[in-house]
Structure 1
Amino acid sequence: MSAATTVPHHVLGLLTECVVQVVGTTDTGSGVLIAPGFVLTCAHVVRSDPAVTVKWHGNSYAGSKVVFASQAPSRRTKVWGYPDLAIVAVDIPNHPCAKLDFRTPRLDDPLHAQGFADKYDQGWAIDSATPRYDGTSGGFWQVAVGEFARGMSGGPVLNVRTGGVCALVKTSRQPGAAQGGLLAPIHGLRQADRDLYQAVVRGHDRYHADGSRPWSRHLDALIDDEPTGRHHRKRWELTPAEERILRGVLAGMPAAGDHAARFESAGPSPAPQDHRPLLDHGDVVTELAELMPGDGLPYVLRFAAALVAASAPGTADDLYRWLLLSAGAMQRSEEMLSFLQSPERPPDVESVMIRLRPSGHDCTKYDLTVWNRHASGTVVARITDPQAKPFEEVKQRIFEILPEQIDALAHAPGGSPSDLPVMIEFFLPVELMDETFEAWTPWPEQWSRLGRRHPTVVRDLRRTTGALRVGDWERRFRSLQGDRVGSVLEVVGCDDEIDHESMEGRLQLRGNLAVLALGSSPLRSGTGPALDVGLYSGVPVLIWRRASCTGTDGPECPGRHFLDDLRRELADVHGSDLPRRVWALRNEAAGRRDDTHCGAQLVLLWDDPNRRPPHDRMIDPEETRLDV
């Protein structure tokens, strides 16, 4: 981030406005308002107190709740270890928030510390010190020069170069002497509970995204001591305003995803191995923002572009606008365009979409509709049989037309450059989901199975007709995109005692859960509630073994073997690769002639909300694009 050598005195005054006094049962220290409703202080100030009194602007807020405090030391050491941070929830209306800077200062960066101190027996008042950064010690930062008076513990430390609070005062090297001491860096907040951390940091980022805030106005004006017009030249780093706006946009986006994988994908190769835990999008920005790329697009722009590409339609519009504006301002538009159009970026998988819809007059009969979905996202209607027929007749009709439709996709003008096999997607009512679609043989070679030649998935017909709510479905699918399956998966064994209420409770507790694996068929065993509630709750992926429960409990249960093997096979698979991985497992099971392999009798319900058939209407079969 660009910044001046010195921060205006206005910012020092704004920092003073955010300093609070924290009074615990046994200790009195300082703290800083960092997000609406939250104070940051040192854990050794609050100790084991469940609540403390926070004093600000002459008012006392007793009973302020300590919602996080890092672990206390053992009786033997008595020294609070890293990160020595605590978060206190406060009920203070319309309070200001200090601007945070999660980066490590440069050697000899000038710092400015503030906090309450009872100095010279004149009563508690805000005091200050001006140390300089001097390296690290046990996770804490060492500083030289400056006296930290008693009571300043937990007070904010401003990096004068960047204009953001980077640490809290921890302790003096020698009480009463201006010999510096130790600081607790605020990046230690990543040791807190993920949900709490995201709530605090996203609240901070949304607050400072408002460019009318005095702190934001002053930092937006900071520039390096370089010639005028510097920011009209090609550059790799973000300005304070660009980063502030980016963090505000990211704070409004879904937080799910494998942030470490996104960091490694966007950053240098090989990726640094010593970065801190990444709990949210903003952490990726922190770690990437000051890494200078050898060539090509700056890492933060790469990250933003990849996040746009992985997001559901309409959820990343603000990020996309920021990306275009920032790339232009950084004189990186051509590189951004090249990156977005890179042939290395995987194309969308083509598919034949097949819908079987029960007749309104006779639910034992089905009408048939077939679309071809091209890699560009174009959806073309190919077959419409409005006259409902019994399932076996519809099956024979599919056998007649499917090879031709697959070939049509393979030879379409401007077809996909991908070498991925065409996907087959069946949109079905629940009662047909256990049909052996992947074992069908629509070719003359009776040994050639549909699910071995092509990734074959089933889908929930009701979601595409609006019969089920789609908000939860889209949200859960976003948590799967770019993430590893193991982090968003839950298993349901044949012998699990579940009903609809208990299953709903499990799903509500895991809002990011995107994959349910069942040990036996939900249409022929006790796992049925998992399918019912999973579909209703928007779980986009369900996997099960097409077999009834054998009634064997314990380690000999085939369903348990299936789930254990499946969990191992899918743990590190990225969500977007799941249909192809299931296709590979089916072929592995056939190649080994192993009926106990988890790829045998494997059903994959894969509901990607970005791949929907168009709304029904009369269309020309050659129409090239339909709104979905």
Structure 2
Amino acid sequence: MSASLNLEDQHRLVEAILRIDGMSVRRGREVHLTALERELGHRLPFEHHDQDKLDVWALVDVLLNYPGAAQALVRNLERFYKRSLSVAALADLVRELLPDPWLGQAERRELHQLITSLERADPGLAHLGRFPMLYRRAVGPAWPLLEREMHSLHDVVALLEEMPAGPDGVPPLLIFVRDLAEYADRPTAPALREWVSRQAAVQGLNGVGFRPPPTEVEARSAPEPSETYLIIACTPDALDPDRYLVTAWLQVDREPGSTLHSSDEAMPLSRIPELLERLLTAESSVVGRPTPDLTVEFVLPRPLLGHPVEDSKIKVAGFEYRIGIKYPVVVRSLDRMRLAAVHHDWRRKWAALCGNSVDAPVCLVTQRGEFDQEELFSRLAEAPAVLALAFPPWAESDEPDEHWVGLLSGAPVMAWCRDGRDPARFAREVKDLLAADLMKLPRRTMELRRQALSGAGAGSGHLGLHLTLVFDDADRIPEPYVRLRPPA
């Protein structure tokens, strides 16, 4: 809301507040701020300044970021300073500059009190960690990511209240609170659902397709999202081919992803484990993810497809381990995401694999040059969505190889041995790996990596220590790489 007022209008508000006797000195402002916070039902993130004008300017900034806060301050001042001309002037100015919020004072106060109860019951702020995912679900892809820093769920609720309803007439705030209730515990969850039901009725939304909040029994029995994904994309730096611009997202199912890291400073591959460790152990939205399962996906350019990303090590409480034995780790092709011409075949093959993941045909290539490249492309174009190769890609060459042909054919699943493998041995090993439901291949590959470090057959020669898995979900192309489609 503050962005909708220019500096001159904000200055008018500052001067109007300073003309009120009780607001012209810091002690008086502190008393009225405390009363305002009681009226709103939550604390305001206000930091005092030594100079009165700067202090009031900071107060105005805070008031503009919280819908209804300026109006609530005026009501308090009117009760305290009856028939005051300076208070009446401030009231007129607020009515001139700030539209009345769509949410009533009592309803807003009740919501913030419920949010306070939720945060008290969750001192680790796991709910705050989930808000980027819930925020994107509520506002959709048309709105930008959060620009101002969010210190609490009160900040998120205030921001969402400012946003207009979508094409279906549903305010994003109602969607956010409805979905937040799914993660809340008793007694807050039922109260949040009841609050949403009342607001939906007041707004006349029950008949326009707005899904009512689930009952308590339904909420407990509703299935959790099937998977959460931490996506790490590495884009080659234009000036230094040995450094990469790294972006990280968190995505729940097929909801829009939330950006966790994005920097204009390119970094070497050696710093990726440091970023991974921070994201996996300290990033609240990852630690507080809605499901225990997490898949780590690396979106890599062609020269890095053979890099052993699953061997990246992180340290937790002094113990260091490879991420590949803790999480399913897969590779995705950055080049294919950027190459829209092959997306139709990629999506078609992914759909075919999803429809027949137990008995899907597999193309096995055990020796380099076993097939002419055009012959291999023709074989892959017919049916197989899975390509298994006993040898690594050409890392130092731009010439097409079998791995590149597989990507261009649209094969969404590819597995290969990074160090080369005896053809007969690889055929036996990969046949066992691909024998069951291929949609569970990332988790079975994680189990194979664990077997390489423990139990019978463990050792440096185990396939689990040398296997790269490309598992490229064509239905979850990260937003930066999705081309706009024509409307249906």
How high is the TM-score relative to the length of structure 1?
A: 0.38
**Which is bigger in relative contact order (C-alpha 8 A, separation at least 6)?**
2
How high is the TM-score relative to the length of structure 2?
A: 0.49
Q: Decide which structure has greater strand share.
A: 1
